[in-house]
């Protein structure tokens, strides 16, 4: 390595390290506040380490039934919504990646149109209403079933699959569906893992659609309940809750709710990290 390359690597590491710290330290500060007592929080003494360690904020929010209802709904939407996203995106991306299929250019243009121009809120609401999806979890999954951007990324991955492999499967008597299920999807784990994380994070953070389409408290996701606690201080009402509130800081409770709403989706990434890194390179290298 030349001297210039060494200095570039040092600068690059320092820059990326600073960017990483700017993302991690605020979350560390939130965790520290959620584990600190009211006196330390109100005095502004908490930085990156808990002072007056207490689990009272977590005890309070975990005793709130609406938190568990929102958690159940968010998990349901994230799991089944992501599976639906991956299935439909792959089923549309595969034929659009094969040159032998007719009208693929016309379909690509229509998909591209939705990427540039999106439908306004009122037509979307009327459509959801006519489909009888209001106040159901399907309203948070079906309208967002296929992302145009993710579709183009997955199509790019499918186009890089060797044609010789698919042709040999056809010679052996495989039909298109069997080629798709037995060959294409198993070879697409990096792309599927990447798309899965992107879709899952979007579903877990689903808020605006829940506000527009879901008014029944039984089906609100966790993010809606999080917003109520953070901005309106609406906690679960019970004798235990009232007793805990006397000894806790509202800021500590809000930070605990943020941790509970953020941590589950963060725990998914380590299991898909290997495939996610490979999938991020989809389409960047052409053979």
Residue 285 forms part of a structural domain: no
Q: How many residues does the chain have?
A: 287
Residue pair 183/70 in contact (Cβ under 8 Å)? The answer is no
Is 216 a residue whose pLDDT tops 80? yes
Among candidate residues 186, 166, 185, the one with its CA nearest the CA of residue 175: 166
63: helix, coil or strand? coil
Residue 34, domain extent: 1-54
Q: Which of 225, 209, 197, 67 is nearest to 143 (CA)?
A: 209
User: Does residue 96 sit within a domain?
Assistant: yes
Number of H helices and E strands in the chain, helices first, is 16, 0
Residue 274: the pLDDT is 65
Q: Is residue 15 part of a domain?
A: yes
Does the pLDDT at position 81 exceed 80?
yes
Residue 116 included in any domain: yes
Closest CA to 74 of 210, 211, 271: 210
Same domain, 239 and 256: yes
- Distance from C-alpha of 229 to C-alpha of 153, rounded to nearest angstrom: 37
pLDDT at 195: 84
Q: What are the tens digits of pLDDT across the range 98-111?
A: 887 888 888 888 88
Q: 49-53, 150-154, 166-170, 236-240 — which is least confidently predicted?
A: 236-240
User: In whole numbers, what is the pLDDT of the chain averaged over residues?
Assistant: 82
pLDDT score for 280: 55
Q: Is 222 exposed, middle or buried (0-12, 13-18, 19+ CB in 10 A)?
A: buried
CB 210 within 8 A of CB 78: no
- Please check whether residues 45 and 62 belong to one and the same domain: no
- Yes or no: say if 179 and 98 are a contact pair by the CB < 8 Å rule: no
Q: Let me know: does 26 contact 237? Beta carbons within 8 Å.
A: no
pLDDT, tens digit (0-9, with 9 covering 90-100), for 10-46:
999 999 999 988 888 888 888 888 888 888 888 878 8
Number of domains the chain is built from:
2
Residue 220 has pLDDT above 80, yes or no: yes
CA torsion sign for 240, 245, 251, 252 is negative
Task: Indicate if the pLDDT at residue 272 is higher than 70.
Answer: no
Share of residues in the chain with pLDDT > 70 (%): 89
Please tell me whether residues 97 and 224 are part of one structural domain. yes
Contact predicate 226/263, CB 8 Å: no
User: Is the Cβ–Cβ distance between 82 and 203 less than 8 Å?
Assistant: yes
Is 47 in the same domain as 75? Answer: no
* pTM of structure: 0.78
pLDDT greater than 60 at residue 237 = no
Residues 49, 63 within the same domain: no
Question: Is residue 287 in some structural domain?
Answer: no
Q: Cα separations (Å) of 17 from 3, 23, 26, 136, 189?
A: 21, 10, 15, 43, 29
Do 88 and 204 share a domain, yes or no?
yes
Residue 286: pLDDT band (50, 70, 90) is very low
Query: What is the C-alpha to C-alpha distance for residues 64 and 72, in angstroms, rounded to an integer?
Result: 13
Least confident of 47-61, 89-103, 228-242: 228-242
Do residues 144 and 13 share a domain?
A: no
- What pLDDT band is residue 287 in, cutting at 50, 70 and 90? very low
Give the confidence band of 240 by pLDDT, cuts at 50, 70, 90.
Answer: very low
Predicted pLDDT at 194: 81
Residue 286 lies in a domain: no
């Amino acid at each position: 390595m030349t001297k210039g390359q060494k200095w570039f690597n040092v600068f690059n590491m320092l820059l990326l390290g600073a960017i990483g710290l700017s993302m991690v330290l605020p979350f560390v500060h939130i965790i520290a506040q959620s584990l600190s007592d009211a006196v330390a929080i109100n005095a502004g003494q908490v930085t990156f380490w808990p002072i007056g360690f207490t689990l009272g904020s977590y005890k309070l929010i975990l005793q709130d039934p609406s938190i568990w209802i929102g958690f159940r709904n968010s998990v349901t939407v994230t799991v089944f919504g992501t599976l639906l996203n991956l299935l439909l995106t792959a089923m549309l991306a595969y034929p659009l990646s094969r040159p032998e299929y007719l009208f693929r250019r016309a379909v690509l243009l229509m998909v591209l149109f939705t990427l540039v121009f999106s439908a306004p809120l009122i037509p979307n609401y009327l459509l959801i209403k006519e489909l009888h999806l209001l106040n159901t979890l399907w309203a948070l999954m079906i309208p967002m079933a296929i992302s145009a951007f993710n579709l183009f990324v997955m199509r790019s991955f499918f186009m890089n699959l060797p044609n010789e492999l698919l042709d040999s499967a056809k010679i052996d008597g495989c039909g298109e569906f069997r080629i798709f299920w037995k060959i294409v999807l198993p070879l697409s784990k990096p792309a599927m893992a990447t798309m899965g994380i992107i879709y899952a994070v979007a579903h877990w953070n689903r808020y605006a659609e829940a506000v527009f389409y879901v008014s029944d408290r039984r089906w609100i996701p966790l993010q809606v309940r999080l917003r109520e606690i953070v901005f309106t201080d609406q906690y679960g009402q019970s004798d235990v809750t009232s007793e805990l509130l006397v000894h806790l800081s509202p800021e500590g409770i809000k930070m605990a709710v943020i941790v509970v709403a953020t941590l589950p989706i963060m725990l998914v990434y380590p299991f898909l990290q290997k495939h996610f890194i490979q999938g991020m390179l989809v389409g960047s290298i052409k053979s």
